[in-house]
Structures are given as structure tokens and as C-alpha cells.
Structure 1
Amino acid sequence: MTLGTNLTFAGGIATSAVVGWLLSLTGLPLAWILGAMVGSAVYANTVGLGGKTKYARRLGQLLIGGATAAILTPGILGELWSFLPAMIAAAFVANALGVLLAFPLQKIAGVDRKTALLSTLPAGMSEMASLARETGAQADVVMVVHTLRVVMIVVMVPFLFGIDRSAVAAEVDPQASLAALATCVAGGLLLSIVTARLGVLNPWVIMPMAVGIALVSMNVSIAAMPWWLIVGAQVLIGFSLGARLKKEDFARVPRAAIAAIICSGGLILIMVFGFVPILRLFIDVAPVSLALGVAPGGLGEMIASAKALGAAAAIVAGFQFTRSFLTNIIAPPLLVRFAVGPEGTDEAANT
């Protein structure tokens, strides 16, 4: 990037941080993420953003992954293992709903079946957009729908559930190691660079947690992430999310934006208000943690929201990763069957 591009990029992050700070003064839940998102969106649509915002998002995800690793204990790891059936069930329910909602989205947005399915499957935006490019679907529509869904979740969940005070107070281990925390972040970075080239999903969040799991398994206690680094991670994630909200993208596919609001809103409401009460009959987890766990949002955004709201970030990470992993496994074969018409012809050719 040129000097001018770097300055413009830095200006966007600074604007996001300032707006996030101002909003935090109001006591609003998730203020740093929401404020950064608003500041970034305004900046991107007025001044413009140079450079690739994905690097800011990756850094934010890396820090959030390290912060989540710091709360892991042998007891939490055992609890996560016991929740695996619930995580798998939530993943299958979300994907089934995603398939069903592809039909109304196809009609409302006026797109082909492949584009509709990739838009409604609850996986990461980057993964689904990449698959859209590979299969000839409309990647711009997929990106708009996924972006709006994550924004809707980030805005809705904190207002609906508030802060989970029961999860805020955590015991501080006097033996906790800052070196172990640094190992999670640095080791997570190295592993992310390697595994990203191998196609591993969301490595920037998962790899620091994987290092943390290894350390905890060796009875190493990890020091908590400093609060200012967690705030910085929230600003970076909010910044990268707001940078996607470009008016020209929505102006280009206005019907997709309308379809996203309707169908994504339906998916969010069903998962949060329909499935969370069912899950609570089987597992004893606070509503806000389950809501963020089953909400069809981005892995990094949902874990960052969990950290900001005092929810159980490790549980949220478990639910989110399980769904993302299973969705990306079933998406390609499902896409092939879904995109073929009832008479065995390619549906896209008939639209």
C-alpha cells in the first residue's frame, strides 16, 4: 500500500475507535463493536477505505482467539465435550432452515438457486463468497446477504439479552502465565498462516484457541488478555464489518438486501427464540451464551460479542465452529443437488 493509502486506512480505524469510545460512554451493550461498525461504515462511504480490511479483521480475530484461550480450563474443556451433541443438533437445525429459506430468498432477490443457497447457508461470508465465485454464482449477492445477517445479529442480540452478569466474574489464577498468553497469540498466528493456505476454516480465531487447549491439557494456566487489547480487537472487528456496508453494493443488488432482511431476520428469530428454549431443556447455559452460540453470524463477530457481553465465549466458540465446520462440509454436495432442476438439468441455465 502507498503512504496515502496507509493514512486513509489508519484514518478509518481511528474514526472507528473514536466512535466506539463515544458510544461506550453511554453504557450501551456492545458499544465498541457497534460504534466501530458505524464509524467505519460512514468513513468508507464518504472518505473511502484504502487497503485490505481483511488484515484488520484477522488481527482482531487473533486477539479474540487468544482471549478465549485464556479462559479455558480442564473443566470448561470437559463441559464443551459434553455439549457436542447439542452443538451438532444446532448446526443441523440452522442448515435445514438455511435450505428452506433459500426458496423465498430466490424469489424475492430474483437470483438462481446456487446464489440463494450460498446466501442462506449459515457459514462464514468469505467461505460462501469464495464458493460462489468457484461455482459461477453471484458473489456480490452472497456477500450482501451474509453481511446484513451478521450486522442484524450484532445489533439485535445485546438489546434482546443484555449482559450476562453471571459469566462476568471469573476466578483469577495467581499462577496464570503471560508467557502462555503470548504463546497462544504468537503460536496461533504462525499456525493460522500455515493452515490458511491449507483451507482450514477461520484459522485466525481457532488456532490461538488450539494452542490454548494444548497448554491447558498440560496444566498450564493462561493469563487473561488485558482489557485494552480486547477492546482493540472489538474495534478491529467492528471496523472490518462496517467497511463491508458500502452503499454501492446495496444499490447494485437492492432486492438482495430486502431478501436478506426478511430471510435472515427469520433465521435469526427462529434460532434465538425457537431453538434456544429447546436447548435450555437439555443443557444449563445462560440464554445470552446460547443465543450467541446458535445465532447464524460470523465466528469472530460472535465470540467478540460474547467477550463484550460477558457471555461464555468458549461455549459460543464451540457452537459457532461446529456449525461453520459442518456447513462447509455439506455445502458443496448440497449445492450440486440443489442447483439441479427436477428434470436433472442445470437450474441456472433455465433462469
Structure 2
Amino acid sequence: MMARSLLALGGGLCASAFAGWVFFLLGVPLAWILGAIAGSAIYANTVGLGGKTKYIRRAGQLLIGAATAAILTPDILSQLLGLLPPMVAAAVVANALGVALAFPLQRIARVDRKTALLSTLPAGMSEMASLARETGGQAEIVVVVHTLRVAMIVVCVPLLFGIDRGAAGASLSADASYTALLMCVFGGLVLSAVTAKLGVLNPWVIMPMAVGIIIVSLGLPIRQMPPALIILAQILIGFSLGARLKKEDFERMPRAVLAAILCSGGLILIMMFGFGPILRHFVEAAPTTLALALAPGGLGEMIASAKALGAASAIVAGFQFTRSFLTNIIAPPLLVRFAASSKGSRT
């Protein structure tokens, strides 16, 4: 049974890598991620995937976190610190919109308020789904809505904003060390395994970056992640996302799918085209970078997209982490208020 599951996962990864390569040859933006999503979704819905894909997703996140750590410099860290007020403002706006959109999603999908709220709050899918399971919500609805929202972002951003071809690559120091990069990967792996059990959000992305911040603060430059490993990370993340796009879920929960498309589409458009122009007055960054920074998607997926599109992945990571952190703090008390309100409305 174990061998069969591993064989199925291996076949799915091969299908994702092949589709990513085809997309790359065709010149599709975000080729390795979008191709991996397509290959994985087709394979999962035809052949089937055995085993858990979360470990594959975590491996991709670990590589992306280390790749982001490798571009950090003291100047970039100082810049991120200066961007903290806009980051918090963007997080507040995104969460306010998420709360507001919970009401139409509840009506369209015909779900309880807790499930609707956890579906529309702009945080990580795994964290919101776990909260749904713990509080008696419908975790499968939360997974479907979040998965579709991330898929919509990954497809729409390159089409609407394109590749940031003017982005300057990070200068490589002569003292940059592969040892420092390996410390980010393996140190991040150990810290992620420990902190994941403590309930830390997105540890597989955050911990390699945390190790990188310590290393850079000590004055040690980190060698850039080899391009082949960045491509591998994109394939792994795309694979895990495509594996969640199950045909039976679309057939079993059509109203949830419709609600996800409408409400998630509204959230994406408002953040990118409503709040984005305002943010440009305070943040000097390319449109693609700002779009991914404001996109209400997963931390790993958005950083991986930034890497693939030439955007400033450190800025994207800062905005995404700030929003995710704030959302995970306010979600539990919001759930209590929503549940109380829901009970009161029925009496």
C-alpha cells in the first residue's frame, strides 16, 4: 500500500514537471507553477493520488523560504521595517473585506457563518481549515474556497500585470556562502518541525527566512538559491495546489464553488485595483510586486509567484506574512462573535 501511494505521488510529480516544462516552452508566464497545477489536477482526477501531499508542499515552501532568505541584505531588512505601517494597513483592509464578504458567501454557499468567515478571511488555507475542524465548521468548504482563490490569483496576476522585467537582480557578494544557504534550509527545517507542533503559522516558509535574517544580521552574505532548485520549489507548490482541485468537490459543492469565484474574485479585484493605487503613493514598487503583496493568497504560493515573475519577493513576503499573522490573531475572537450572532439571529 505504501509503495503504491509513493508510486502515485511520483507519477503526479512527473506529470506536474512535464506540464510545467511544456508551459515553459510555450512561453506561459508562471510556467512551472501553472503547468504543475494543470498536470497535478489532471493526474489527480484521472489516475488518482495516494498519500498525503502536505509533505511535498512543505518541501516547496522550505525551498522558497530559503530562496527568499538568500536575497536579504541589511538594506532590504531596513526597507521592510520602514514598510511596516503600509503592511499593517493592507492587512487591516484585507481582513475587513474578508469579514464583509463572509455574509454574501454564507448566503450563496448556504453554509454556517463560521464556515463562511473562515473561507473569506485572507490567511493560509491549512490554518483556516484547522480552525474549521476545531470549531465544528465545514473544513471541506474552507479548503475549496481558499484553493480556488489562490488558483485565481496565480492565473490572473501574470495576465493582468505581466513579468517585472525591469526588476534588478540581487548583487552577488564575493563572500556569499553556500554554507549560509544550507544553514537556512536545514536550520529552517529543524525549526519548522519544532514550531509547527507549537502552532506557529506557516513555519515552513517563515523559519528559513528567520534563519536568514539572523545570518544577514551577523554580516554573513548568503549565496543565491540555484535556479534549478527554485524551479523545483515552484513545481512542488504547484503540484500540491493542483492536487486539491478535485472534480468531485466541484460536483458535490457547486454553490460553494460559485461563492468562491464571486467572493474571492471581489476580494482580489478590490485589493489589487482598489487599494493598490492608494498603496502606490506610499510604497515604491513595481505593479507586479504590489499585486502579489496585496493578493489574498497563501504565503508560499505568493512568494513562489514573485520569484517566477521577477517581483521583489522580500516585499511580497513582508506583506503576506503581516496579513497572515494579523488574520490568525483576529480569527478566533471573530469566530466567537460570529457564532454568537448566528445563534441570536435564530432565536
Partner of 1:251: 251
Once residues 111 and 99 of structure 1 are traced to their aligned partners in structure 2, the CA distance between those partners, rounded to angstroms, is: 15
What corresponds to 1:57 in structure 2?
A: 57
Contact persistence 1:168–1:311 (CA under 8 A) = no
Deviations 1:190-218 (A, max 9, x none): 00000000000000000000000000000
Match of 2:162 in 1: 162
Count of residues in Structure 1 that have an aligned counterpart in Structure 2: 347
Instruction: Tell me the equivalent position of 2:27.
Output: 27
Aligned to 1:328: 328
2:105 paired residue number = 105
What one-letter code is carried by the residue in structure 1 that aligns with 2:35? G
Could you give the per-residue CA deviations for residues 296-317 of structure 1, whole angstroms, max 9, x where no partner exists? 0000000000000010001000
Q: Secondary structure at the match of 1:166?
A: coil
Q: Deviations for 1:110-158, whole angstroms, at most 9, x for unmatched residues?
A: 1111111111000111100110011111111111100100000000001
Residues 91, 326 of structure 1: 8 Å contact kept: yes
* Distance across 1 between alignment mates of 2:66 and 2:133: 32
Q: TM-score scaled by structure 2? A: 0.98
What SS does the corresponding residue of 2:166 show, helix, strand or coil? helix
SS in 1 for 2:297: coil
Spell out the pairing of 1:78-93 with structure 2 (5 A cutoff): 78-93=78-93
Distance 1:180 1:32 in 2: 27
How much has 1:41 moved relative to structure 2? 0.2
Which residue is 1:137 aligned to?
A: 137
- How do residues 178-189 of structure 1 correspond to structure 2 at under 5 angstroms? 178-189=178-189
User: What is the identity, as a one-letter code, of the residue corresponding to 1:43?
Assistant: Y
Distance (whole Å) between structure 2 residues aligned to residue 185 and residue 73 of structure 1: 17
Query: Would you say 1:216 and 2:216 are equivalent positions?
Result: yes
- Find the counterpart in structure 1 of residue 288 from structure 2: 288
1:68-98 Cα shifts (integer Å, max 9, x gaps): 0000000000000000000000000000000
Deviations 1:37-95 (A, max 9, x none): 00000000000001110011000000000000000000000000000000000000000
Q: Distance in 2 between matches of 1:115 and 1:2?
A: 34
CA distance in 2, matches of 1:28, 1:335: 41
Q: 1:41 to 1:168 in 2, by over 3 A?
A: farther
Contact 1:201-1:325 at 8 Å conserved across structures: yes
Residue 250 of structure 1 deviates from its aligned partner by 1.8
SS of residue matched to 1:165: coil
Q: Distance in 1 between matches of 2:146 and 2:233?
A: 21
How far apart, CA to CA, are the structure 2 residues paired with 1:75 and 1:219? 12
- Determine the structure 1 residue equivalent to 2:264: 264
Aligned partner of residue 18 in structure 2, secondary structure: helix
Bigger mean CA offset, 163-172 vs 70-79 = 163-172
The aligned amino acid for 1:60 is: G
How far apart, CA to CA, are the structure 2 residues paired with 1:305 and 1:226? Answer: 16
Q: Is the 8 Å Cα contact of residues 57 and 240 (structure 1) preserved in structure 2?
A: yes
Deviation at 1:346, TM superposition (A): 5.3
- The residue that corresponds to 2:119 in the other structure is 119
Q: Alpha-carbon deviation of 1:172?
A: 1.6
Partner of 2:5: 5
Amino acid corresponding to residue 328 of structure 1 in structure 2: N
Secondary structure class of the residue paired with 1:52: coil
Q: TM-score, normalised by structure 1?
A: 0.97
- Partner AA of 1:209 in structure 2: M
2-structure distance, mates of 1:68, 1:125: 21
2:36 is matched with: 36
Write the letter of the residue equivalent to 1:169. Answer: G
Deviation at 1:253, TM superposition (A): 1.1
* Change over 3 Å in CA distance of 1:168–1:52 after alignment to 2: farther
Residues in 2 aligned to 1:299 and 1:266: alpha-carbon distance in whole angstroms: 20
Map Cα deviations across residues 5-35 of structure 1 (whole Å, 9 max, x no partner).
Answer: 1111100000100000010011111000000
Deviates more, 1:162-171 or 1:327-336: 162-171
Q: Distance in 2 between matches of 1:80 and 1:333?
A: 29
Q: Once the 2 structures are TM-superposed, how far is the Cα of residue 165 of structure 1 from its aligned partner? A: 1.7
Q: CA deviation at 1:251?
A: 1.6
> Any runs of at least 4 consecutive aligned residues in structure 1 with deviations exceeding 6 A, and if so which?
none
